[in-house]
Amino acid sequence: MPERFLSVEAASVGYGRAAARAQALRNVSLSFKPGQLSLIMGPSGSGKTTLLSVLGCLLTPDSGKVYVRDREVSGIGEAARTELRRRSIGFVFQAFRLFRSLTALDNVTISGDICGQPGQKQRAKELLEELGLGDKMHLKPDEMSGGEKQRVAIARVLTKDPPILLADEPTASLDTAAGQQISELLFKVAAGHGRAVVVVSHDSRWEPFAHRLIILRDGEVIQDRSQQA
C-alpha cells in the first residue's frame, strides 16, 4: 500500500492579486487512505472545493505538494494531469455534469470512450441496473430526477473503477430519500470496493457514513478526526 495514496502537504492556494488576493487554502496537509470515506465540511469559503480541486489535479497549489498514488503531481504538466485524472480519479459533482444530449446509458459509456476503452455497454447496463436505473437507461438527463441523474453520474465513475473518487456536494440538490441513497452508495464504494472516497458537503446527514471527518475554516484544518462509520 503506498504511503501517499492521496495526500497534500503544506498546500496553499490563493485567488486574485495584490489587495484583492484571498487565501483559499493555508498550509494544509492531509492524507487519505483507500477503503475510507472522508467527509470534508466547513462553511462557505472555507476552502473545501479548492482542496477537492487540488486533490483532483484540476488545480495546482501555489506552494506545497500533492501526491497521487505515491507520485508527486503538483509539478507535472497538463497532459500528465489529464492522464492521471483519466486513470485514477473519478468525480461526482453537485450539478451532476451529465451530457444533455446523451441517454443515461451513453453518459455512462462515455467514460470508457474517454479512457480509450470503448464498448463497455454491458458493464454500463449492469451498473445502471445495480443502481436501480434499469428502466431509465434510454432517458436523457432532462427526463430524470436529481437523484437519478446523480446515480447515473456515479455509474459513470464506477464504470472506469478509479481508485480515488472525489465528490463535491453530491446530495446538495437532492431530497432526503435520494440523498440517503447516494450516501449509502458512496459509502459502499469506499468500504466495499476499497476506494478512497472524499466527499465535500455542508450536509450533516453525511456524518454517519464517514470514516473520517475533516472540518475546514478560512482555508485551515480545524478538526480532523476518525470515527466509526
Residues in touch with other proteins (CB under 8 A): 49, 52-53, 56, 58-59, 79, 82-87, 89, 91, 93-95, 97, 99-102, 106, 110-111, 113-115, 156, 168-169, 172-173
Instruction: Locate all alpha helices (DSSP H) within the chain, ordered by sequence.
Output: 48-55, 78-88, 104-114, 121-130, 146-160, 176-193
Among all chains, which residue has been given the C-alpha cell 466509526? 228
Min dist. Cβ of residue 86 to other proteins (A)? 3
Min dist. Cβ of residue 182 to other proteins (A)? 16
How far is the CA of 80 from the CAs of 65, 90, 111, 217, in angstroms? 16, 16, 18, 31
The CA R_g of the chain, rounded to the nearest whole Å, is 17
How far is the CA of 79 from the CAs of 83, 115, 202, 211, in angstroms? 6, 14, 33, 33
Residue placing its CB nearer to other proteins in the complex, 156 or 211: 156
Residue placing its CB nearer to other proteins in the complex, 3 or 78: 78
Three cell numbers written together for 196: 478512497
Q: What does the alpha-carbon distance between residue 132 and residue 126 come to, in Å, rounded to a whole number?
A: 10
Residue placing its CB nearer to other proteins in the complex, 22 or 95: 95
Min dist. Cβ of residue 111 to other proteins (A)? 7
Min dist. Cβ of residue 141 to other proteins (A)? 11
Residue placing its CB nearer to other proteins in the complex, 52 or 221: 52
Min dist. Cβ of residue 228 to other proteins (A)? 30
Residue placing its CB nearer to other proteins in the complex, 80 or 208: 80
**β-bridge pairing 6-15 and 220-226:** unpaired
